[in-house]
Amino acid sequence: MAFENLTERLSKAMKNLTGRGRISDEDLQETLREIRLALLEADVNYATVKKFVANVREKAKGADIMNGLNAAQQIVKIVNDELTETMGEEAVPLNKSDKIPTVIMMAGLQGAGKTTTVAKLAYKLKQEANARPLLIAADVYRPAAIEQLEILGRDLDMPVFSMGTDVDPREIVKKGLAQAKENKNDYVFIDTAGRLQIDADMMQELKDIEKIAQPDEILLTVDAMTGQNATATAEGFADALDITGVVLTKLDGDTRGGAALSIRDVTGKPIKFVGQGEKPTDLDVFYPDRMASRILGMGDMLTLIEKAQKEVDEEQQAKQLQKMRENTFDFNDFVDQLKQVQKMGPLEDLMKMIPGMANNPALANVNIDEKQFKHMEAIVSSMTPAEREDPELINPSRRRRLAAGAGRPIVEVNRMIKQFDQMRKMMNQATKGNFGGMEQMMGG
């Protein structure tokens, strides 16, 4: 996972402070030194690190014990705020033109992920905003770039404009834009050519395309895995082009996090999206605050909540809540609940988003067996409708029948029925307004 090492180092740096009411100057010095090393090791730009540590020092000095936070909690909060600020505070949305089409031009080195990102972003707009994008294939240098875009366009059902590799990219852009106007596409993506390094020819070509296309957005694509080089590359592009946003790709493979933390600070350009995999759906809006809490291992609660909201059928939830209140929650509802949880994604990933869990050593050894879900479903499907609605009916001989029917050991059937019973009791209490247990869990 991204930022693994940084998370570990930072939480170690701050753990030393736990349990202290006040922080002595020496404690603070030591913690700041650890934070500095953690950031440098994560390949964060040197000047950014210097500024970061100075700001944290300033805020920590000025902070008195407040809001009931203890010293360690305050430092965590200060570091969290500073991380957020370094990455740009707020998510910055994609620019949009008042006229159609909105033109989005890509820039970046070869292999950074431009072509992949064009497909991901166009697909995102199509799914979320019903957009009708046209993709222009203007990368005439990288072997197979055009074909790659054409295949992606076909798979995702989006038109691609191409003229092969023998035509000048400027010409391709002109013709592509004309076609977009004619077909009333609302978005145009221009996939441009990169080189292995920044060079004059590439920059000239990009500048020419910028002039021709007058893009509303120039998205610079950089590969997070290249760390400091990503930052230096971004600086080079930002000097020559009017970059409006950055897409940080391959964050799924970046265990350090240096680029995510430096780019905004060094170039002044906001990271707008992050690529977290090779599939068309692996592109996310970049939220500095969420990223900060993820780096600190506080988990990404907001993402979890959003995911839950997206996947969970609200009407069904309301119905189930009603049933819990009336104490008529049965095995049919139990299976529905299991299915909803499964839809949210691999359980291990979800657990990591819970504050305190990402770095919890306990989780390292936990292997949540998705098969268990399937087994539970199998047991429930061996029940008669009457048994599903009235779990009290399920006596020992019926349990043996269920075990045989599902091909599972009887202990498993017993365990599941017991869990179900406990869950029902807990739900019943919770819906009566007795949240005592829950508050304790949340540390309230």
Q: Does 267 bind ligand GDP (CB under 6 A)?
A: no
Name the one residue in this structure whose structure tokens are 């690529």.
Answer: 275
Under rule CB under 6 A, residue 306 binds ligand GDP = no
Q: Give the Å distances, CA to CA, from 80 to 43, 64, 114.
A: 18, 17, 31
**Residue 415 tokens, joined:** 């365990």
Q: Which of 108, 169, 270, 297 binds ligand GDP (CB under 6 A)?
A: 108
Nearer to ligand GDP, 226 or 276 (CB): 276
Tell the smallest beta-carbon distance from residue 430 to ligand GDP (Å): 40
Closer residue to ligand GDP in complex, CB, 220/380: 220
CA–CA dist 383, 394 (Å, integer)? 9
In the list 58, 168, 201, 278, the residue contacting ligand GDP (rule: CB under 6 A) is 278
Candidate residues 142, 323, 399, 401; the one interacting with ligand GDP per rule CB under 6 A: 142
| Closest CA relative to residue 216, chosen from 193, 249, 243, 234 | 243
Asked whether the CA dihedral 205, 211, 215, 219 is positive or negative, the reply is positive
Q: Where are the alpha helices (DSSP H) in 139-183?
A: 145-156, 169-183
Q: Which stretch binds ligand GDP (CB under 6 A): 8-16, 17-25, 246-254, 414-422?
A: 246-254
* Least CB distance to ligand GDP at residue 209 (A): 15
Helix axes of 396-406 and 370-381: crossing angle, nearest 10 degrees: 120
Is 184 assigned a ligand-binding role in the annotation?
A: no
**CB of 126 or CB of 142, closer to ligand GDP:** 142
User: 378 and 408 in contact (C-beta within 8 Å)?
Assistant: yes
- The alpha carbon dihedral of 333, 335, 338, 344 has a sign of negative
Within 10 A of 95 (CB to CB), how many other CB atoms are there?
16
Instruction: Confirm or reject binding of residue 115 to ligand GDP (CB under 6 A).
Output: yes
- Binding residues among 179-218 for ligand GDP as defined by CB under 6 A: 194
Q: Which of 253, 355, 391, 405 contacts ligand GDP by CB under 6 A?
A: 253
Can residue 57 be called a binding residue for ligand GDP (CB under 6 A)? no
| Least separation in angstroms between CB 249 and ligand GDP | 4
Choosing from 215, 245, 275, 280, the residue that interacts with ligand GDP (CB under 6 A) is: 275
Q: Are 137 and 175 contacting, i.e. CB atoms less than 8 angstroms apart?
A: no
155 binds ligand GDP per the rule CB under 6 A: no
Exposed (0-12), middle (13-18) or buried (19+): which is 27, by Cβ within 10 Å?
middle
- Say if strands 160-161 and 187-191 run parallel, antiparallel, or are unpaired: unpaired
Please report whether residue 250 would count as binding ligand GDP according to CB under 6 A: yes
200 has binding-site annotation: no
Please identify, using beta-carbon distances, which residue of 181 and 195 lies nearer to ligand GDP. Answer: 195
Residue of 45, 244, 249, 262 that binds ligand GDP (CB under 6 A): 249
CA angle 249, 236, 248 (to 5 degrees): 10
Question: Does 276 participate in binding ligand GDP (rule CB under 6 A)?
Answer: yes
The one-letter amino acid code at 322 reads Q
Q: Which of 87, 72, 79, 85 minimizes the C-alpha distance to 58?
A: 79
Which of 114, 408 has the CB closer to ligand GDP? 114
Does 332 interact with ligand GDP (rule: CB under 6 A)?
no
Q: Using the rule CB under 6 A, which residue among 114, 256, 408, 424 binds ligand GDP?
A: 114
Is 15 a known ligand-binding residue?
A: no
Asked if residue 109 belongs to a known ligand binding site, the reply is yes
- Contact 56/79 with Cβ under 8 angstroms? yes
Rounded-to-integer distance, Cα 23 and Cα 387, Å: 60
Q: For ligand GDP, which is the closer residue by CB, 194 or 227? A: 194
Closest CA to 52 of 32, 73, 31: 32
Residue set of the binding site? 108-115, 191-195, 249-252
Interacting residues with ligand GDP (CB under 6 A) = 108, 110-116, 142, 145, 194, 221, 249-250, 252-253, 275-278, 282
Residue set of the binding site for GTP? 108-115, 191-195, 249-252
